[in-house]
Structure 1
Amino acid sequence: MRKTTRQAAGATVQLAGAAVLTFGTMLFLTVLLITATATLAVVGAGLLPETVTLVRRIAGAKRRQVTRWTGERIPEAYLPLDDGPLRARLRTAVHDPGTLMDLRWMFAEYGYGSVLPILVLPLWPAALLVDGVRCGLLNREPLVLPLIIRLADLEASWSTALLRPSPRARLSERVEELTATRAGVVAAHEAELRRIEQDLQDGTQARLVSLSMRLGLAKRAYERDPAAARKLLDDAQDQAEEALTELRHVVRGIHPPILTDRGLAGAVRALAASSGLDVTVDTGDLESSPRAPAGVEAAAYFTVAEALANAAKHSGSNRASVRLARVATGLTVTVSDEGHGGADETTGSGLLGMRRRIAALDGTVRLTSPTGGPTVIEAGLPCGW
């Protein structure tokens, strides 16, 4: 009985909040009509994007309200409306499928958002009366309390159905997301090519030029001074070995051979051992599971490498941990350190490059680094196992 009463009280609060929001949207109708009139008159066309932004905020408040009651998040899908010239913003405001969805919900909310809370008003006196008299319902719950809960569920289900993005809206959002991801991938690819070119030019190419010169000198000195030629050939051999070492370093930056040889778990353990930090590595059941695609393993490897490098340089701590986990949707990578925190991805290219690399695989990155620490980088990489 007490549990049902508490649930009914919560349902009443939920419906009261819905009524308050409905009243606010009724007041907003005046602003909407003024904006529509001004837009038709061209004079106030600039008000339309701001009005649509306000509609989005009201719809967002309703989504959060329903989420608190149901525990299930209602996704939203809008085209960006903040930047660009006025004509482009007007076009977005008019053609965004989310605008029509929000307006449809708003006008429907005028009906059920007003009626359902009113229906609750006589139910509580009835519940108290039945509970006090207990006539014919002795030792039973008043049947009206579950009805109050049902009204709140009904209001939330209707709002969910109206505020859930349409397939067209989700498709538009996905196109925008893929467009941004593609731009990031192109930028990351160009940056990687420049890095490889610079590494080859400054390192390998310079050593190969020196090697060629020494071989030429040795060839000329071979007949008249064999000892000098031998010394030049020894130096040339050293130059060749150094060039090979630097070339391996460049190749390792493209796709580490250790990934092919040892797999992701072994490669990450090797990274941890060479990082200079006291790193705890937890690979779960990764070593006994089927391997992820090569691109996913490479992204995970470079995520760990970048995170450990940042921890060693900036965290001020000598301890870190790495966790690799195989989940139903793919692979998760978590790297944390016990440093002073305050990591900011806008101040350097490492974290940005990590985010772009993972976004290219439709993955996600979350950085948590409050002042005082700890710093935690969590990456999710989707893949089929």
Structure 2
Amino acid sequence: MRVPELLRTTWRASIHLLIGGALGLFNYLMVGVGLTAAGASLLVIGAAALPEFVLLLRRVAHFERTRSARWSGVPVPEHYPPLTGNLYERVRLSVTDPSTHRDLRWLGAHLLYGPALSYAVLLLWPIGLLADGVWHGLLRRPPLVLPLITRLADLSARWSRILLLPSPTVRLAERVEQLTATRAGAITAHGAELRRIERDLHDGAQAHLVALSMRLGLARRAYDRDPETARRLLDEAQDQAEEALGELRHVVRGIHPPVLTDRGLAGAVRALAAGSGLEVAVTVADALETGPRAPASVETAAYFTVAESLTNAAKHSGAQHATVDLDLTGDAGRTVLRVRVRDTGRGGADETRGTGLSGIRRRVAALDGTVRVQSPAGGPTEIEVELPCVW
């Protein structure tokens, strides 16, 4: 690492630790507030102070979770039951909530390591500037002292994450809630898909087949007395049959595009790009070209993600160019298909305006995947989908 980059990283780590030290000193005040609230609650008349202290503690813990996640890049989830109901219920939840117990445990520990690590920063900077300056300037060796500050910041973030991470029981309950919501969304999406298929069959193929049957009946009655009319009706019936076949192909493509079966995900996405009306650059990882194919449900979700994204870009964004990246990452334990679509349009995509993003979310959530949408006003719009692959 070069010296300017080292100094920037060390400075960021120092700011992180110094803020942590200031937060640790603030936590001393929090302890006093907590003891006061607990004492007031014992007097009954001041029982309302305890839930308010718990809410304040949640805000402080949330601030630390955000700091740790920003530094380490690893999110620290939180799970709190709402403090609602009458005063007795709020006090009971404040006392019995396991997340509050974990926040209090972090509060007590952070009283020690927060200020201690910030004091270490104040000592390491002058030592590092002197020692590392001589070590690097005269001996041309990598600095040794200043990098310790970054390691201390990593240590602080790791300790905070361990202390503030919800318990396995809470995480399991949260996961069950998430899967329940995902299942409900999948059922809703499935019902909407069935209604769409029924509507397409009724308004399209069925209407053409009824007209075909009527023309065949008229041609049969006119066959002996008016061959020319019968021939014309048969020609019209053939046209109706071809239109009905076209409608059926359209319905089938909406269920599972045949191009996916014939050409695989990479070929199907390239076909989408070629027919989108935009200049689309498609990048496909080698693992998707030469390795085993992803499960059919995953390929279908990825295909429709690209199709919907390119359709939105062409219709709503005013974009002329777009990129599609397909990647397969992971190991034997967890393999993820990542789809990223980016256009150069005006941005400002709104899921509440029927742009198809909610449909993408439902389809991806049904497979336990994730969707990330970035679409600031003025653009660009980027949609990234991750789909776990289980063979």
Does the alignment reach a TM-score above 0.5? Answer: yes
Distance 1:289 1:147 in 2: 43
Instruction: Map 1:117-136; keep pairs closer than 5 Å.
Output: none
Q: Is the 8 A contact 2:349 2:355 kept in 1?
A: no
Distance 2:14 2:186 in 1: 50
Q: Is the 8 A contact 1:93 1:99 kept in 2?
A: yes
Instruction: Map 1:55-66; keep pairs closer than 5 Å.
Output: 55-66=57-68
**Aligned residue identity for 1:354:** I
Instruction: Map 1:93-172; keep pairs closer than 5 Å.
Output: 96-113=97-114, 157-172=158-173
Partner residue, 1:136 = none
Partner residue, 2:77 = 76
Partner residue, 2:239 = 238
Distance 1:113 1:268 in 2: 51
- The reply to whether residue 366 of structure 1 matches residue 362 of structure 2 is no
Distance 1:66 1:38 in 2: 33
Q: Is the 8 A contact 2:78 2:166 kept in 1?
A: yes
Instruction: Map 1:188-337; keep pairs closer than 5 Å.
Output: 188-285=189-286, 286-328=288-330, 329-337=335-343
**Aligned residue identity for 1:310:** N
What do the CA deviations read for 1:13-41 (whole angstroms, capped 9, x no partner)?
65543332123223234554565555994
Distance 2:126 2:346 in 1: 59
Name the SS of the counterpart of 1:73 in structure 2. coil
Distance 2:45 2:260 in 1: 62
Partner residue, 2:85 = 86
Give ranges in structure 1 of 5+ residues lacking alignment: 132-138
Name the SS of the counterpart of 1:184 in structure 2. helix
What do the CA deviations read for 1:168-200 (whole angstroms, capped 9, x no partner)?
232122122212222221222222122112211
CA 32–224 in structure 1, closer or farther in 2 if over 3 Å, else same: farther
Distance 1:252 1:331 in 2: 22
What do the CA deviations read for 1:193-219 (whole angstroms, capped 9, x no partner)?
221122112112222222222222233
Q: Is the 8 A contact 1:79 1:172 kept in 2?
A: no
Q: Is the 8 A contact 1:79 1:92 kept in 2?
A: no
Partner residue, 2:347 = 341
CA 334–8 in structure 1, closer or farther in 2 if over 3 Å, else same: closer
> Matched residue pairs, number?
370
- Cα distance, 1:376 vs structure 2: 1.4
Partner residue, 1:350 = 356
Name the SS of the counterpart of 2:225 in structure 1. coil
What do the CA deviations read for 1:266-297 (whole angstroms, capped 9, x no partner)?
11111111112222222231222211000110
Distance 1:144 1:340 in 2: 48
Name the SS of the counterpart of 2:383 in structure 1. strand
Q: Choose 89-98 or 100-109, whichever is displaced more.
A: 89-98
- The reply to whether residue 27 of structure 1 matches residue 29 of structure 2 is yes
Distance 2:212 2:236 in 1: 8
Partner residue, 2:134 = none
Q: Is the 8 A contact 1:341 1:371 kept in 2?
A: yes
**Aligned residue identity for 2:174:** E
Distance 2:182 2:170 in 1: 18
Give ranges in structure 2 of 5+ residues lacking alignment: 132-138
Q: Is the 8 A contact 2:269 2:303 kept in 1?
A: yes
**Aligned residue identity for 2:312:** N
Q: Choose 363-372 or 255-264, whichever is displaced more.
A: 363-372
Instruction: Map 1:5-16; keep pairs closer than 5 Å.
Output: 16=18
Structure 1-normalised TM-score? Answer: 0.80
- Cα distance, 1:7 vs structure 2: 9.3
Q: Is the 8 A contact 2:208 2:244 kept in 1?
A: yes
What do the CA deviations read for 1:322-370 (whole angstroms, capped 9, x no partner)?
1211222321111111212221222215011011111111111111222
Q: Is the 8 A contact 1:367 1:376 kept in 2?
A: yes
